[in-house]
Chains A and B, each alone.
Chain A
């Protein structure tokens, strides 16, 4: 076991409150490369582990603008430039009729970007991840809460990090092989 490269040190908690407190203590102790796992979203936990840059809204905004412009320009070009067709005497560039498709294209692009952008920024789909090497981690999708200090953290040291995590009132502390 100890010959394998180590991915990090993981602590298991019973309640979301303990995980939240542990996340605050761990980052206060100077650990920077940490992550927390929970079976449901916990407000403030991402901030507690030092996560700030959420790019999802920007991605959605850009995609929405691109979608709207695409929708409108497409209709204008098709109806007024590429194949002008007189429909009951309406102008070729009859903009009120183009609003609905413009709106739908805005929503379509923004919605698809919200999902694909979220997945891409999260690095999903990810077929393999070392945290799943811990058998207890299966409970992270049920009723247990996990905190990990990655081995890449400059302050990481197998024994001192383990001792530190033991002080946070966990159920167990485990080493994560990578």
Chain B
């Protein structure tokens, strides 16, 4: 209905959410056969093998870090927060799009989300797992990380709850737990489908255990839908709170460039911006390789591009306001920070940040580009680079020239910084490869509900 009104208003036909001609059976077969019947291709092995090697590189970098300590990184005084925090914020931001798609768009009854929510949620999980590594190793003594949690101990001390860093522990661990539950609860009916379809006895047992005896009873579905909806309602404020709390790590301090009230909304918008860029970078190759153009249609690409455009403009507002207040606010430290961003040693990255996040994505106003997968893929890549630069500028440039000239310094990442960062990208993509191979990457039961046959009169 909403689609029809939209079409009449704009005078053009929107691409459908699911291509016509599908039945309950064909949807089930096409998605489940990717996991059950399709032979594992050489390309999959090459891709997985390559990213698995990068994961091994991550483990190597971590092992050396634990042996030597954080001195192998480029961090020092004045820049005590380097790559670890930049990458933490970048990864956790990417995760946000998955929760936005699965929870917020569910509450807003955006049925197009049904074909991309599953792998977006998987993306969230792997991104949050990658993010979680960084604060852990940044503590310097990661084997004592459990000190962050309130547990009765012989020292009889407790975490300091007035610190945003402790809030972060609670926010991120809650976010990971809820994302995992949300993803798993969505998988249960599809695991039952795989259990019933699978011909491999071993796979049948594994899927059977995971499906927990799901049989699709109307009573079960009723409670299931209530539970799913409540989880979506809980995850919506949660996802907005997580990046807000991450921004508090900065905003609660008094460092120029960090101490600003605009941080929470601008961090959340930036998170969703980079998350949708990652969703597109994953969805575009996946729909091509696995012939899923019927389910992930032009409509999905276009809508994701629109979300990117909107959140990108919010981010642009944040940048403009930061610069404006640096000039207008009257604080000489803020004014110096602005000058340092524009003319200091990292000026090139600040300019590139504007180019990548604000200027280049404006081409998404052109409808032709929003529906061209190759162009979207490239723009998304540019946005991901831009959002990484944003965090680099926020973390490094704010610290690099302290209040006193005597504590001016530079930050240069070492090869261990790079190995850790690239290693987490490898881990993230290796996990995505495993995911598309062993679990249905599109929610089968939610796709069935999109078919016209699923409509029932009482």
Contact = CB atoms under 8 A, between A and B. Distances in A.
Interface of A: 15-17, 20, 23-24, 35-46, 48-49, 51, 54, 56-57, 60, 64, 74-75, 78-79, 82-83, 85, 87, 90, 94, 97-98, 100-101, 103-105, 107-108, 110-112, 114-115, 117-119, 121-122, 124-129, 131-132, 137-143
Given A127-B213, A143-B28, A36 B218 contact: yes
Contact of A107 (B160, B218, B219, B234): B234
In this complex, the member of A48, A124, A126 whose beta carbon has the largest number of chain B beta carbons within 10 angstroms is A124
14 contacts: A20-B456, A40-B189, A45-B218, A49-B219, A51-B219, A57-B226, A79-B160, A103-B237, A104-B167, A107-B178, A124-B213, A140-B196, A140-B215, A141-B195
Given A107-B178, A140-B216, A16 B456 contact: yes
A142 B212 contact: no
Given A40-B448, A54-B223, A126-B213, A141 B196 contact: yes
Interface residues of B, number: 63
A42 B451 CA distance: 12
B453 A15 contact: yes
Q: Which 3 A-B pairs have the closest CB atoms?
A: A125-B212, A143-B24, A126-B213
Interface string B366-404: 000000000000000000000000000000000000000
B59 interface: no
Contacts of A45: 218, 221-222, 456
B241 A103 contact: yes
A36 B217 contact: yes
A44 B220 contact: no
Contacts of B167: 100-101, 104
Contacts of B458: 20, 24, 44, 48
Contacts of B245: 100
Contacts of A142: 24-25, 28, 193, 196-197
Contacts of B445: 39-41
A46 B241 contact: no
Contacts of B160: 79, 85, 87
Contacts of A114: 181, 227, 230-231, 234
B110 interface: no
A101 B170 contact: yes
A153 to B, nearest CB: 15
Interface of B: 23-25, 28, 150, 156-162, 166-167, 170-171, 174, 177-178, 181-182, 184-185, 189, 192-193, 195-197, 212-227, 230-231, 234-235, 237-238, 241, 245, 248, 445-446, 448-449, 453-454, 456-458
Contacts of B218: 23, 35-38, 42, 45-46, 48-49, 51
Contacts of B196: 138-142
- For the complex, would chain A's binding face be called helix, strand, loop or mixed by DSSP majority? helix
Most buried by B among A41, A42, A78, A131: A41
A114 B228 CA distance: 8
A39 B457 contact: no
A100 B241 contact: yes
Contact of B162 (A39, A57, A97, A139): A97
A143 B448 CA distance: 9
A143 B23 contact: yes
B216 to A, nearest CB: 5
Contacts of A97: 161-162
Given A46-B222, A54-B223, A114-B231, A141 B189 contact: yes
A16 B162 contact: no
Given A39-B193, A94-B162, A105-B170, A129 B235 contact: no
B448 A60 contact: no
Given A110-B234, A124-B213, A129-B213, A104 B171 contact: yes
A97 to B, nearest CB: 4
Contacts of B221: 38, 40-42, 45-46
Nearest to B179: A111
Contacts of A101: 161, 166-167, 170
Contacts of B25: 142-143
A60 B228 CA distance: 12
A131 B25 CA distance: 21
Contacts of A78: 150, 158-159, 161
A130 to B, nearest CB: 10
Contacts of A119: 212
A60 B215 CA distance: 24
Contacts of A125: 212-213
B212 A87 contact: no
Contacts of A37: 215-218
A164 to B, nearest CB: 19
A131 B158 contact: no
Nearest to A75: B161
A128 B195 CA distance: 14
Contacts of A51: 218-219, 222
Of B218, B220, B226, chain A has the most CB atoms within 10 Å of the CB of B218
